[in-house]
Every structure is written in structure tokens, then in C-alpha cells.
Structure 1
Amino acid sequence: MSQVLIVYYSKRGNTQKMARLIARGVESVDGCHAIIRTVESDLDGAPEPQDPIVSEQDMKDCAALILGSPCYFGNMASPLKRFIDSTGNLWFSGAMEGKPAGVFTTGSSLHGGQETTLINMMIPLMHYGMIMVGLPYSEKSLLYTTSGGSPYGATHWTEFESNRAIDSNEKQLCIAQGKRTAQLASKLKEN
């Protein structure tokens, strides 16, 4: 069984909802299982985590990794960045090399830096030696979305008050990203 680890930070629940949709895509691939984890928060007013906190062992054990975060000024949230910054042993040991990886984000404004957030999350994954998995334009929802979605990864526009539901195109892109990442993890495991 190939474990695809989905690690996210979510203050208002939107990124968590995306993680669950991505997990549905992962679970649609035979022989693949989604593991959902979150990170510890140091932010005031952050809700209690609803998922287990990620561990370094979770990272070592996974066949693929998908990271998610809200977009804060074009970058990932500090709790996720703090976790990544604590994983120097994974980088040094090469434990993540050759594994597929993807990224996803939420943002409260249409042009608030979602794509730069995705790219910023990719950088440490490339330093790990991971294989980046994006969303190709064969995913028709990329052509029709008027809110979230990018070839770099799934996105969701939450609106200013963070209460806009994930629309059908955003949902499809989340599922497609999970499925695509799991398929690659499965193929790599075969070799």
C-alpha cells in the first residue's frame, strides 16, 4: 500500500476541506492510501487541530507528499514553514528524494499571491529532492475556473470573510491533484 501524506495548516477550515478532497483523489487509486496530518500552531485564536500532528516518521514513511497552506502575503503560513524548517534531518539523510510532491493553497482575494504561495511551498520540496507534480491543462477545470486553480496546484478562493464554499471546478482540481500524485507514487513504487 502506497501512503500519500497530506500535510496542511488551516486556521479557518478551508485548507482542511481541500486536504480532504485531495485525499478522495488519492483513495481513488488502487493500492494508495491517504494519511492526513496537520502542524502545530502558534497563532492566537487557532482552533484545536482535528487531525493528528505530522511527525518526521510520517514523512519518512510516505510514498508521496502533498503540502497545503493558506496564502499569507504570497507565502505559506508560519506554522507550516516552522515545521518544514525543523526537518533538516530529512534533507540531510535524503529520506524524501525521488518521492512525488504537490502543493495546494487557499486565499481570500483572487490576486492575493496564491501562485507565489504554491511556488514558495515547492522550494523546500525540491531541496528535499522530490519530484513536483502539478496539474496539466488536460484537467478541463483549469480552463473553466473563475476562482481557484493553477497548473502549480489546486487553489481555493475563499472570499474576504473566508466563507465561500469550494466550487465544482476547485473541487475537481483537488481530487485530480490527489489522484495524479497517487498514480505517480504507485508507478514509482512498481519500478
Structure 2
Amino acid sequence: MMKILVVYYSMYGHTLKLAQAVAKGASKIPGAEVMLRRVQEFEAVDQIIDQNEAARQVREQQQDIPICTVDDLRSADGVIFGSPTRYGNMTAQMKQLIDSTSSLWLNGEMEGKPAGLFTSTASTHGGQETTLLTMMVPLLHLGMLIVGVPYSLPEMIHTEARGGTPYGATTIAGGKGELQPKSEDLDIARALGHRVAEIASKLRG
């Protein structure tokens, strides 16, 4: 059985919806076992979420999704990472997970595994591409193989205010989180999951 790990962080639910679409796309590859995991929340942020009804509801929606461990990363044949943008970069929560992988790096346990990325931003130019590009850097240090989104997908070429970059799947959440991923955004997310799983399957031989 080939294991595909989809690991994400989401406070308001937009990245969660992309993660679910990515997982659905990966599951279409024969023999793929998809593991959906969330990253550990910070205690201080949990206290902030306690005071925000919308964020509390999203937190409750994720309670049954296991927290990602280093062993999850170790056992995966391919990994797709998702994080909303914080000033053009991944969240500290996602960075904490990646920073915990020194043992994997020392033993070369992530080398040769395909990796994909997805993100959400409040605005159209809110750092989608910089977030995805900077998330790639530690994955390259780990020896992973970066998988993007090709322009052969019809949803990729557009001039609308929605997501879709060659560096990974994206969506626009709105300044108050009032927007939801467009159907095309979810199509691209599914295609990304499918592509990473397909490549992982081919690499396994």
C-alpha cells in the first residue's frame, strides 16, 4: 500500500477545504492510502480561538483529524503540505512541524519523495506564490522532489480573482474569511493531490 500524507494548518477552514480536495484527488490513484493530518496548534493561539466563534467552529470540525507526527512523515511515500499565508510565508505552526524533522534529514528518510504545496490568502496578491516558494526551501533541504501544477489544466489560465499557481493549489479567503474556495480552486487542489500520488506510484515502480 502506498501512503500519501496530506498535512495542513487551518484556522478559518479555507486551507482545510483545500486539504480535503487534495486528499480526494490523491485517493483516485489505485493503491493509494491517504492520510489526512493537521499540525499541532499553539496553546496561545488556542486561547485566541476560544474568543472567536467562527474559528471555534472550524476547530471543532477538525477534532477527529489526527495531529501529524514525524512518523507520519517517515512512513509516507508522498506528502502534500498546506498552510495559509502569514506575511508571505507559512504559518509558525507548520514551520514547527518542519523544524521537528531533523532526524529525518540526518537519515535521509525524506529523500526522493514527491511533495506538493497549497495555501490560502486573504487577498488576491496576499503572498500566495511567495508562501509556496518559501515552503519549498526546507523540503529541498530534506531531499524531496517538488511537484507543481501544470498549465495543461484548463483551470490554470484565467484572469479571475481566484486561486491557481504553477507552484501549488491556492484560494482567496477574503479579508474577513467571508469567501469560500471556488470550484476551480478545488479542481486544481484535486489535480495536485492526484499528481503527487501518481508520481509517488511511479517512483515506487
TM-score, length of structure 2 as denominator length: 0.90
The structural deviation recorded for 1:145 is 5.9
Aligned to 2:155: 141
Q: State the distance in 2 between where 1:33 and 1:14 align.
A: 23
The answer to whether the 8 Å contact 1:145/1:170 transfers is no
The answer to whether the 8 Å contact 1:145/1:169 transfers is no
Please tell me whether residue 28 in structure 1 is matched to residue 28 in structure 2: yes
Counterpart amino acid of 2:16?
Answer: Q
Aligned to 2:198: 183
Please tell me whether residue 165 in structure 1 is matched to residue 180 in structure 2: yes
Question: Structure 2 unaligned runs (5+)?
Answer: 50-54
The structural deviation recorded for 1:163 is 2.3
Aligned to 1:103: 117
Q: State the distance in 1 between where 2:195 and 2:3 align.
A: 14
Aligned to 1:132: 146
Question: Structure 1 unaligned runs (5+)?
Answer: none
Structure 1 residues 145 and 186 mapped into 2: Cα distance closer, same or farther (>3 Å)? farther
Q: State the distance in 2 between where 1:115 and 1:96 align.
A: 24
Q: What percentage of aligned pairs have identical amino acids?
A: 44
CA deviation map 1:125-174 (0-9, x unaligned): 11100000000100110113621010000000111111212112101100
Q: State the distance in 2 between where 1:17 and 1:76 align.
A: 17
CA deviation map 1:90-133 (0-9, x unaligned): 11110000000011001111101110000111111111000000
Q: Highest Rg: 1 or 2?
A: 2
Name which of 114, 134, 138 aligns with 1:120. Answer: 134
Count of matched residue pairs = 190
TM-score, length of structure 1 as denominator length: 0.96
Q: State the distance in 2 between where 1:145 and 1:165 align.
A: 18
Name which of 150, 159, 165 aligns with 1:150. Answer: 165
Q: State the distance in 2 between where 1:81 and 1:176 align.
A: 25
Please tell me whether residue 74 in structure 1 is matched to residue 88 in structure 2: yes
RMSD: 1.1
Aligned to 2:52: none
Counterpart amino acid of 1:177?
Answer: L
Q: State the distance in 2 between where 1:10 and 1:81 align.
A: 13
